[in-house]
A and B are shown apart, each in its own frame.
Chain A
Amino acid sequence: MTDEPVLSVRDLEKHYPIRKGIFNRQVGVARAVDGISFDIGPGETLGLVGESGCGKSTAASSIVRLEEPTAGEVVFNGNGRGGASRDPGGSHPNDVTRFSDAELKEFRRGVQMIFQDPSSSFDPRMTVGGAVAEPLAVHGMSDRRRRRAIVEDLLERVGLSAEDYDRYPHEFSGGQKQRIALARALVLNPDLIIADEPVSALDVSIQAEILSLVDDLQAEFGLSLLFISHDMSVIRRISDRVAVMYLGEIVEVGPTDGVFADPRHPYTEALLSSIPTPDPRSSLGGIELTGTVPSPTDPPSGCRFHTRCHRVIQPDGIDVDQSDWRGILNFRDRVADGRIDVESVRENAAGAAGTPTDEDIGDRLRAEFDIADEINDPDVESALQEAIDRLLAGDEEGAATLLSERFTTPCAATAPERTVHAEGHESSCLRHRSEHAVAADHADD
């Protein structure tokens, strides 16, 4: 097969045990990466994007086995290992997670990494030539002069000069160091480069330079690239396809143009609308995500994004303004966590005008959660008002019970399946349930 992917990741998981106490008992598990799957074809760039803490970097280090993945399969068909098929037992001979030490060493010749901080990825006491040549020596090229010739050639190809061979890292700027890191990644002629936020520490002008260099080198060397970044505009510039990650899962994947023009997952939509547009006439932000990424030790049930989603589904029988619905759910969660301090609300209201009535405080609460003063659905309104009354009467538990019984969303109950929107463009969102073209398991295609 010629269109065999270079890298094929299936249901990759990396869980970190959380231990406590003198016996180091395991009390929980942080699901940093929780079942992600994607392919990278020859010469293709896949951009992996998400907020900090979503597991992008853990995914990268699990793929190259800098950390041992908990479960899943990473099939690497580079290094001339292509064309292999599965054993009768179902395991793949190119599965990196099952590689022996010798195979692993060979694998790491075919895959190289570039990291975010160029200054901390070089030994300050080693010349850059020595640093770039080191992988060659490690992998058995003992001829010093040949090593030097190869490295000098590479330094020129990344836009530095052969004379830089004998200089030290501190003599170079951040952008130049990142060029050196690129040279080091290329020196073993790999099939795949994993770049983890390689331009995040650089200025825009330098960023643009490095990105176009990466583009050129990719074409020249026929490289595949896994490009990890939190910066959507960088991802857009460099990737052929984009995978959007949230809390250990890939929520949307598709061709770059498709994902940017027509994001199908609300999270992607929110990420895109958070990018400050370099157009002074457009107004600030569209969709505002409230709160931060929940902890991966206790991810939300159902769709993991439902606690922050602006399109969170209303159950049958409820039909209110979407922003009110989001506000009600936020209110419900906050009450359930016991994180509403009625006293401080009361104090703040008192500062404004005399002794506040319960009504004033109710209005303040509603305003805080962006809920309308009166909701257009009388049933919802009365339930909400009842909950507020209970809360003000000091019955927090009663309020919490009422809210959690009355207001539920299907998003919390059901984990969404993959929906195919177009060729290669898939997302996991319950709103697409009715589009029945469901990709059950694309591992077989």
Chain B
Amino acid sequence: MTSPPLLEVEGLTTTFDTDGGTLTAVDGVDFSVDEGETVCIVGESGSGKTVATESITRLVREPPGRVAGTVRFKGRDLLAMPDDELREIRGDEIAHVFQNPQESMNHCYTVGWQIAEALRVHRDVSDDEARARATDLLDRVGIANASARFDDYPHELSGGQKQRAMIAMALVGDPDLLIADEPTTALDVTVQAQILKLLDELQAEFGMGVLFVTHDLGVVAQIADRIVVMYAGKVMERGGVLDVFDHPAHPYTRRLLDCVPELGGDGGGIPGTLPDPRDPPDGCRFAPRCAHAEPACRTDGQPEEIDVRPGQRVSCVHYRDGRDPSVLGEDPAGAGSDSNEVTSGDD
């Protein structure tokens, strides 16, 4: 690839000072997002995926938090940037959409006012222009009768409409990067389908990069170009969506996919819980829950990432030179991930 990625995160580490010691939520994570690309960060709750995305624009409160590493956005390091410069970018070139639309809106202002405000903060526009742009965006995200809904308060909208309005607010500055943190988790499946389709259309139209955080592998399969699998603050595996679904390499990714009955998994779950982020295990973070852990997994930190396929890398000792990854069991390719097993009723 000749052109540098839109967003390039290197060695991102976010720690929090707590009474019980220093808690490392994100521990040296690298990933990148290209223009027009959707990258999904996947993992259980507590794996650090939300903190990682919030660290990008330093939404993490400092102190007690501390963000280290480099985050290059269009070549500029966001973490080394003075606050006022970052504020110009945040909400304009980089926009966030959060999980819970109820909590992300101010109840005391109308929806349209809040969207228009997001524009006024970043651009020198008149009230009328801001209103026109906000109305246009409400219309674009599929809110019927936008000019009348402009004056509605958040409580007058349904959950799905609120999330649409949040997306409108995020799009107001024509962002180059949209960071969406579980934007559909609180919604019904039917509404979720509407929102995912909307994001897809908007992405095609605006050509923005999307960094999407979710724990729902069904959603991932639908929207992702590339996947980053996180566990306990570390990246376990990364790769193209087809590669990771067809040939999951890391035992954690395999167990995660096994939790989805539609993929032919046993649906047995993953025994055990996430390690304490104040005292993470010495070797691979997943070793205490991994059925294939051996002494080498328990020392020397998280294993280096090893290429298993072009673009797909895994952090697991079993893939080192001279090792035989087949001890992890059959490559579960074809165990249901082939496209002939379709679950929806009507195709």
Interface residues of A (CB under 8 A from B): 51-52, 173, 175, 203-212, 230-233, 236-237, 260-263, 268-282, 284-289, 292, 334, 339-341, 343-344, 347-348
Contacts and interface: CB of A to CB of B under 8 A. Distances in A.
Given A205-B259, A205-B270, A272-B344, 18 more contacts: A52-B159, A211-B267, A273-B345, A274-B192, A275-B189, A275-B343, A276-B218, A276-B219, A277-B262, A279-B263, A280-B242, A284-B193, A284-B197, A289-B190, A292-B191, A344-B146, A348-B136, A348-B139
B262 A233 contact: yes
Contact of B221 (A173, A208, A263, A278): A278
B179 to A, nearest CB: 20
B245 A278 contact: yes
A233 to B, nearest CB: 7
Interface string B201-245: 000000000000001111111111000000000000000011001
Contacts of B191: 51, 292
B116 to A, nearest CB: 16
A268 B346 CA distance: 11
B80 interface: no
A268 B132 CA distance: 39
B32 interface: no
B259 A272 contact: no
Contacts of A292: 158, 160-161, 191
A213 B269 CA distance: 10
B83 interface: no
Interface in B313-347: 337, 339, 341-347
Contacts of B255: 205
A10 B330 CA distance: 51
B345 A276 contact: no
A204 B193 contact: no
Contact of A208 (B216, B219, B267): B267
Interface of B: 44-45, 132, 135-136, 139, 144-148, 158-161, 188-194, 196-197, 200, 215-224, 241-242, 245, 255-257, 259-263, 267-271, 273, 337, 339, 341-347
Contact of B261 (A210, A236, A289, A340): A236
Contacts of B339: 279, 281-282
A276 B260 contact: no
Given A237-B261, A286-B344, A292-B191, A340 B145 contact: yes
A230 B194 contact: no
The 7 closest A-B pairs by CB, nearest first: A209-B269, A276-B218, A208-B269, A274-B193, A281-B339, A274-B189, A205-B270
Contact of B217 (A273, A278, A288): A278
Contacts of B189: 51, 230-232, 271, 274-276
9 contacts: A206-B44, A233-B262, A236-B261, A278-B220, A278-B245, A279-B337, A280-B224, A334-B145, A339-B145
Contacts of A285: 193, 196-197
A212 to B, nearest CB: 6
Contacts of B220: 278
A71 B279 CA distance: 57
B342 A288 contact: no
Nearest to A268: B345
Contacts of A236: 261
B267 A212 contact: yes
Contacts of B139: 344, 348
A281 B298 CA distance: 37
B147 A341 contact: yes
B329 to A, nearest CB: 18
* A210, A268, A275, A286 pick with most chain B CB within 10 angstroms: A275
A209 B270 CA distance: 7
A203 B218 contact: no
A208 B221 CA distance: 19
Contacts of B346: 263, 269, 272-273, 286-287
Given A203-B44, A233-B261, A237-B267, A284 B223 contact: yes
A288 B245 contact: no
Contacts of A278: 217-218, 220-221, 245, 257, 260, 262-263
A230 B186 CA distance: 11
* A208, A288, A340 pick with most chain B CB within 10 angstroms: A208
A344 B345 contact: no
Contact of B200 (A51, A284, A288, A339): A284
B347 A344 contact: no
B320 to A, nearest CB: 26
Contact of A274 (B144, B190, B224, B342): B190
A341 B197 contact: no
A231 B192 CA distance: 12
